[in-house]
């Protein structure tokens, strides 16, 4: 039986014996390893016996030990597929809805997630303090876009502005125009603890009126966002589908491109040369095709979804040829978030299972600026550890099914759940 352990029940150290070590820096898992964890960090990794007198010993029976997973594009506060319904939800209810979403992500093996629009410092701190279980959170605060753009979910008859406490759509998204107003909005999100800034530079599926190929935010507006983020030692991520939107964002120093479904070879080369990242998400488009209508998404949005779905698989092929580093993202909304791990299987149609695992470990760690601390199994790294029944590098489906094949989940050196 799988059990959840309270923090008060945990020892200071664990020794994992008899593991098949899956460190994504290598091409395959290696048998006969041991891993010692002390005080939240990995202290020793060896293919020989590690001696300890204080650590709790866990015999893993040849199961695979690998780093915790990283999803670089989630929306824990976007708890409706039809985003317009968020205007009727107070922030208190929004937070209550986020709690089970976070717990379920951790149960799937995601020990770190980057929220790309909506989550605030309060829920991040609540997870850090252990008020409820969830992955480590990196946040971007409100997603910022122009009037009529992807962050503007108002109806055409809607000219009023509700308070942010009572209207969760306003809490999670900001609509601003002009470089000075963008600058002020970015500064406010940084003041509120954002780890990165999210801007909209092209149309989107879930927004009501903007065409996918619409050009959003001017060059001066993009530049203002990047300048302020860099001044605060943070970075900018941009929602962008088309080559034009991607190249405009890159020209001003945007670091990560979200989605990028319609990218072409030339733009992929620009992204590779810039040292930036693509955070792709395939699963959201497949699942919206299958299920979004039942949750209130209208026909016009579903048609936009079809346009970007066709380019999703091809974008991975283009970026692989160009040498672009591609991070793992799911971007699921509301009730569809249970499909998060299906992204692994969809990507495996284009790239190898190990490449998909790297996207959700070492590349994800680079994106959230935690290289060497997350996504690897080495001394000094944070002890985010999964024990898997089988080898995901040979069978990527082991990372699906709501954590069914995860025998143990550890975050920060503390066991969240185990059946060992």
Report which of residues 408 and 291 the model is more confident about.
408
CA angle at residue 330 from 324 to 332, to 5 degrees? 145
Query: What is the dihedral angle through the alpha carbons of 280, 128, 133, 342, rounded to the nearest 10 degrees?
Result: 10
CA distances from 201 to 37, 78, 117, 236, 288 (A): 43, 20, 14, 12, 22
Nearest to 200 by CA among 257, 253, 243: 257
User: In the prediction, which pLDDT does 3 show?
Assistant: 54
Query: For 192-247, what is each residue's pLDDT tens digit?
Result: 999 999 999 999 888 888 888 999 999 999 999 999 999 999 999 999 999 999 99
Residue 380 predicted with pLDDT over 60: yes
User: In the prediction, which pLDDT does 1 show?
Assistant: 42
User: In the prediction, which pLDDT does 362 show?
Assistant: 98
User: In the prediction, which pLDDT does 291 show?
Assistant: 87
- The DSSP 8-state label assigned to residue 202 in this structure reads B
Residue 257 predicted with pLDDT over 50: yes
Residue 52 predicted with pLDDT over 80: yes
Q: Determine contact, residues 271/322, Cβ cutoff 8 Å.
A: yes
SS3 95: helix
Q: Compute the mean pLDDT over every residue in the chain, rounded to the nearest whole number.
A: 93
User: In the prediction, which pLDDT does 160 show?
Assistant: 59
| Ordered DSSP codes for 213-251 | T-B-S-HHHHHHHHHHHHHTT--EEEEE-SHHHHHHHHH
**Could you tell me the two tokens for 271?**
């992204």
Kindly state the average pLDDT of the residues 270-289. Answer: 95
Query: For 138-185, what is each residue's pLDDT tens digit?
Result: 999 999 999 998 888 776 666 656 666 667 778 888 999 999 999 999
Q: How far apart are CA 253 and CA 256, in angstroms?
A: 9
User: In the prediction, which pLDDT does 10 show?
Assistant: 82
Q: How far apart are CA 200 and CA 218, in angstroms?
A: 11
Query: For 318-339, what is each residue's pLDDT tens digit?
Result: 999 999 999 999 999 998 999 9
Residue 29 predicted with pLDDT over 80: yes
Question: In this structure, are strands 256-259 and 277-280 parallel, antiparallel, or unpaired?
Answer: parallel
What sign does the dihedral 90-71-117-316 (CA atoms) show? negative
User: In the prediction, which pLDDT does 353 show?
Assistant: 96
**Could you tell me the two tokens for 366?**
């680079």
Q: Determine contact, residues 117/390, Cβ cutoff 8 Å.
A: no
**Could you tell me the two tokens for 351?**
């790239």
Burial class (CB in 10 A: 0-12, 13-18, 19+), 44: middle
Q: How far apart are CA 16 and CA 136, in angstroms?
A: 23
User: Which of 14-28, 38-52, 288-302, 309-323 comes out lowest in average pLDDT?
Assistant: 288-302
Instruction: Using pLDDT thresholds of 50, 70 and 90, give the confidence band for residue 43.
Output: very high
Nearest to 66 by CA among 400, 362, 277: 362
Kindly state the average pLDDT of the residues 95-117. Answer: 97
User: In the prediction, which pLDDT does 159 show?
Assistant: 62
Q: What is the pTM of this model?
A: 0.94
Q: How far apart are CA 77 and CA 118, in angstroms?
A: 6
């Amino acid at each position: 039986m799988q059990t959840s352990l309270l923090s008060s029940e945990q020892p200071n150290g664990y020794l994992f014996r008899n593991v098949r070590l899956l460190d994504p820096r290598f091409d395959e898992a290696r048998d006969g390893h041991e891993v010692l964890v002390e005080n939240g960090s990995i202290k020793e990794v060896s293919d020989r016996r590690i001696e300890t007198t204080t650590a709790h010993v866990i015999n893993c029976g040849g199961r695979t030990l690998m780093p915790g997973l990283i999803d670089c594009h989630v929306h824990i506060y976007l708890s409706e597929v039809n985003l317009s319904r968020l205007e009727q939800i107070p922030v208190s209810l929004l937070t209550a809805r986020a709690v089970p979403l976070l717990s379920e992500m951790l149960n799937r093996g995601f020990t770190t997630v980057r929220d790309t629009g909506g989550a605030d410092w309060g829920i991040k701190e609540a997870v850090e303090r252990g008020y409820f279980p969830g992955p480590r959170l990196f946040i971007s605060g409100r997603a910022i876009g122009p009037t009529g753009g992807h962050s503007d979910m108002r109806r055409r008859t809607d000219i009023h502005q509700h308070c942010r406490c009572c209207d969760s759509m306003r809490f999670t998204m900001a609509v601003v125009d002009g470089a000075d107003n963008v600058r002020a909005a970015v500064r406010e999100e940084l003041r509120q603890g954002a780890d990165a800034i999210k801007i909209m530079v092209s149309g989107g599926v879930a927004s009501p009126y903007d065409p996918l190929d619409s050009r959003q935010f001017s060059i001066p507006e993009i530049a203002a966002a990047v300048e302020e983020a860099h001044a605060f030692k943070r970075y900018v991520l941009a929602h962008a589908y088309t080559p034009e939107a991607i190249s405009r964002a890159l020209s001003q120093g945007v670091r990560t491109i979200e989605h990028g479904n319609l990218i072409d070879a030339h733009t992929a080369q620009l992204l590779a040369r810039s040292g930036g990242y693509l955070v792709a998400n395939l699963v959201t488009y497949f699942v919206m095709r299958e299920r979004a209508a039942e949750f209130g998404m209208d026909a016009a949005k579903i048609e936009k979804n079809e346009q970007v779905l066709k380019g999703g698989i091809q974008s991975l092929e283009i970026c692989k040829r160009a040498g672009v580093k591609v991070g793992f993202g799911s971007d699921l909304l509301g009730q569809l978030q249970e499909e998060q791990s299906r992204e692994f299987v969809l990507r495996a149609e284009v790239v190898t299972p190990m490449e998909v695992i790297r996207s959700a470990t070492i590349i994800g760690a680079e994106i959230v600026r935690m290289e060497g601390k997350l996504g690897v199994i080495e001394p000094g790294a944070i002890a985010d550890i999964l024990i898997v029944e089988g080898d995901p590098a040979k069978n990527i489906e082991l990372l699906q099914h709501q954590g069914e094949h995860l025998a143990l989940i550890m975050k920060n050196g503390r066991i969240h759940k185990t059946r060992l």
